[in-house]
Structure 1
Amino acid sequence: MKMYLSSINDQIWDVTENDYVIIDPTNLTNNDKENKQCNTMALNINYNAIDSKVFEQIKDCERASEVWKRLEETYEGTLAVKSAKSYILKDKLTILKMKDDDSILEMFHRLQVIVNNLKALGEKINDDDVSHQFLMCLPPRF
């Protein structure tokens, strides 16, 4: 049973991420039927996971892949937007300095927010580089 669910989940994700093609809608193959069913399941999962305001943005989509793409662009941005965000965050990381009224914990939190945002954009961040950057942000009194 667990193996079957894993397989279904994989199919649902595949239809969501990669879409699917039906060559002859009048003569559906078993694979076509499975893809259509997985698409319906994926749409239902998305509809149940979002609030009514977000639903208004995607309700015209007939395919889970369309929904996913629209949500990605809405919340992550296009490739150009992601690139610009990444550039801005990298710049913030390089100029980051500890404020006079910051505690070490507050400083580390500000650094961690930047690093987490970069990781969310797909940037590979080395923990050693983060540690080095943190030490570089500290004023001489530390």
Structure 2
Amino acid sequence: MENIPTWTCVVALALRDGKGRWLMHRRPADKHHGGLWEFPGGKVETDETPRNALVREIEEELGLVLEPAACAPVGFAEETSGEGRPPIVIMLYTSVWDGSGMGALEGGEIDWFTPEEAELLAKPPLDVALAAKLFAKGVI
């Protein structure tokens, strides 16, 4: 029997700097949701834990090395329909930036935003839901 995934697990990072701003990644124009802002991250591979996948993805995308224990879970968002593909569940973690160098290594761009600015950015639907959870009173 062929092993077809019934859903896709994705991890994302809400990274905060010392000024209370949050890092967002703008997707390359030629990708799905191109030009929209998202929390950086990526897919969890079958042999990984979500936290280890987050550490790997952030190093690949930003060149930033995180300690798994420094990433705290915040919440998740899920699609109800995958539109012809397995639905996605995004698990959001948060961490504080230590000031080390980083950049958008896999395309797109990165920038820092206050919670108010980040709420106004054009984002994919699941990132809209994640931002609402992250910036809700009492969460951060």
- Provide TM-score, normalisation by structure 1: 0.20
Structure with greater Cα Rg: 1
Structure possessing the higher relative contact order (Cα contacts under 8 Å, 6 or more residues apart): 2
